Amino acid sequence: MEKKIVEKANDMFLNLGFKSVTMDDLASEMGMSKKTIYTYFQNKTKLVEATTHHLFCKISDGINAILQENLDPIEELYTIKAFVMQHLKNEKTAPLHQLQKYYPKIHSGLKEKQFEVFQECVVDNLARGIEKGVFRKNIDIAFISRIYFIGTTGIKDKNMFPDDRFPVSKLMDDYLEYHILGITTEKGRTILNNLIKEQQI
């Protein structure tokens, strides 16, 4: 039952927002009493904590599965981006923005864990890209991996990038293209252009 509550809460939080969904809403949606939910979770904060941990693990496992496919490094970045966007419901309610605003401690802990996974994934991606000749040999991997992380989290700032001017899916595509163009070789640029054309079909 605990897992079902977390999964339903995860779906509702991502669709409606962490702030908007109440324990009453969740109980009503699941056809159970609020008291039943409280037997598993002391309060909403504990539920949000469990939900974000569940989502983090789900996304991390998915990224690991993609890494096992040994895709071309540029194609791998696009595949991971698509996977993450799908599981964050395209961030239509800016869940991470709400998480940061209303649950800063949970957001901070999540960001630390994200950075650890992100670093391992991106450092490996950059190293393989250099080895395969799609990324430039003279890039500083430690710098690029960190600036890329700062960028992917920074573009979620709705004050800087309001949804009405910067739709999330396009914003993510534009930033990923920006990242790759800054480090790619001619060989990599050809792969990038082909991937962009495929997405436009």
Range of the domain at 87: 52-200
Q: Report pLDDT for 43.
A: 96
Q: Report pLDDT for 91.
A: 57
For residues 11 and 9, what is the distance between their CA atoms, to the nearest angstrom? Answer: 5
Domain with 121 in it: what CATH number? 1.10.357.10
In a domain, 58, yes or no: yes
In a domain, 23, yes or no: no
Q: Report pLDDT for 92.
A: 56
In a domain, 22, yes or no: no
In a domain, 6, yes or no: no
For residues 9 and 161, what is the distance between their CA atoms, to the nearest angstrom? Answer: 27
pTM, rounded to two decimals? 0.88
Q: Report pLDDT for 113.
A: 93
What the block records as the tokens of 153 is 């989290």
Residue 48: which residues within 8 A CB-CB, separation 6 or more?
A: 9, 13, 18, 99, 103, 106
Q: Report pLDDT for 33.
A: 94
Say how many domains are in the chain.
Answer: 1
Q: Report pLDDT for 137.
A: 97
In a domain, 187, yes or no: yes
In a domain, 147, yes or no: yes
Query: Phi and psi for 184 in degrees, rounded to 5?
Result: -85, 160
Q: Report pLDDT for 97.
A: 76
3 state DSSP class of 185: coil
Which positions of the chain have pLDDT values less than 50?
A: 93
Q: Report pLDDT for 100.
A: 86
In a domain, 80, yes or no: yes
Per residue in 26-62, pLDDT (tens digit) is: 999 999 999 999 999 999 999 999 999 999 999 999 9
CB atoms within 10 A of CB 73: 22
Q: Report pLDDT for 94.
A: 64
What's the chain's Rg over C-alpha atoms?
A: 19
In a domain, 185, yes or no: yes
